[in-house]
Amino acid sequence: MVNKDIGNKTIPVQVNANAQYKTGTGASASSDSHSVSAIFDNSTSASANMSIGNSNASLDVGVSAKTGTMASASAGLNGKNVYTNASYSDTTEVHATATSQINYKGGHTATSVDAYAQSGNQVEAHLSAGANGVAAGGSASTGTFVGVNATNTTGVKEGSITTGAGVSIGDHFEAGGSGQASMKDGKATIGVSGDVAVFVGLDVDVSLTVDTKQIGKEVGKATNEANNTAKKAGHEINKGLKKIHF
C-alpha cells in the first residue's frame, strides 16, 4: 500500500504484482446432471502483471507467452439456458496488455489494449440460447501475424456501450463473427462483432447494454416531479382566483 499526499488529502494507492509459469501435459473430463466437459492441455505458458490504482483510477499492465496445443469442449444447461463451447489451438503467441479505468460520479470509462504476435492455428465456436436470449459465434485463424486490439467501455446508471477495433498484419488468414441479443435482470444487451483477414485484417465490435429498470426509475421520478409541479401550479392558480372578487 502506498499513500500519496495531495494537499491536505491522503489518497491510498494499491500496488500488486505477480508472475506465473506452467508446463506439462494434462487431460480431464467431467460431467454432472447439468453439464459435460473435456479439456486437453499440452502447453507451456508464462505471465507477469502489475496493477496500481485506487477508488478513482487504476492501471494494469502485463506480458504473457504460450506455446503448445490446447483443446476443450463443453455443453450443458445453465439455469434456463443451454450452451455449447468448443476450441482448439496449437499456437505460439506473445501478448503485452494494458488496461485502465477511470471512475467518476455516475459512471466509469475503461480502456484496454492488447499487442500480440501469433503463429499457428486456432478455432473457436460457441452458442447459448434460452430464457435470457441468444448468443452465437465462431472464429478461425491460421498463419503468422502481429496485431493490436483495443476496446473501450463507458458506463452510466442507465447502461453501457462497448466498442472495439483491431488490426493484424502477416502471412495469415482469419475469419470470425458473433452476435448477441439478451435480456437478464432487466438489462437488455445487443452486440455484434466480425473480422476477416488475409495479410491485413480489421475487426470491429460494438455492444450496447441498457438497464430498463433504471430507465423505469428515471421515468417514474420525472413523472412524479411533473405531477408535483402541476399540483403546485394548480394550487397557486386557485389561490389567485380566490383573491379576485367578482
pLDDT of res. 154: 84
CB 12 within 8 A of CB 1: yes
Q: What are the backbone dihedrals phi and psi of residue 80, each rounded to the nearest 5 degrees, phi first? A: -100, 20
Which amino acid makes up residue 238? Answer: N
pLDDT of res. 148: 87
Whole-angstrom distance, CA of residue 31 vs CA of residue 76: 9
Q: Give the DSSP per-residue string, 57-78.
A: EEEEEEEEEEEEEEEEEEEEEE
CB 134 within 8 A of CB 181: yes
pLDDT of res. 97: 95
User: Helix, strand, or coil here: 231?
Assistant: helix
Which amino acid makes up residue 192? Answer: V
pTM of the model as a whole: 0.67
Which amino acid makes up residue 62? Answer: G
Which residues of the chain register pLDDT less than 70?
1-11, 132, 157-159, 175-246
Which amino acid makes up residue 51? Answer: S
The count of domains in the chain is: 1
Name the β-bridge partners of 153: 110, 162
Determine the structural domain holding residue 47 and report its residue range.
2-243
Q: Which three cell numbers stand for residue 230?
A: 402541476
CB 193 within 8 A of CB 200: no
Residue pLDDT, tens place only, 54-83 = 888 999 999 999 999 999 999 998 888 899
Name the β-bridge partners of 167: 148, 202
pLDDT of res. 46: 95
Name the β-bridge partners of 204: 165, 194
pLDDT of res. 197: 47
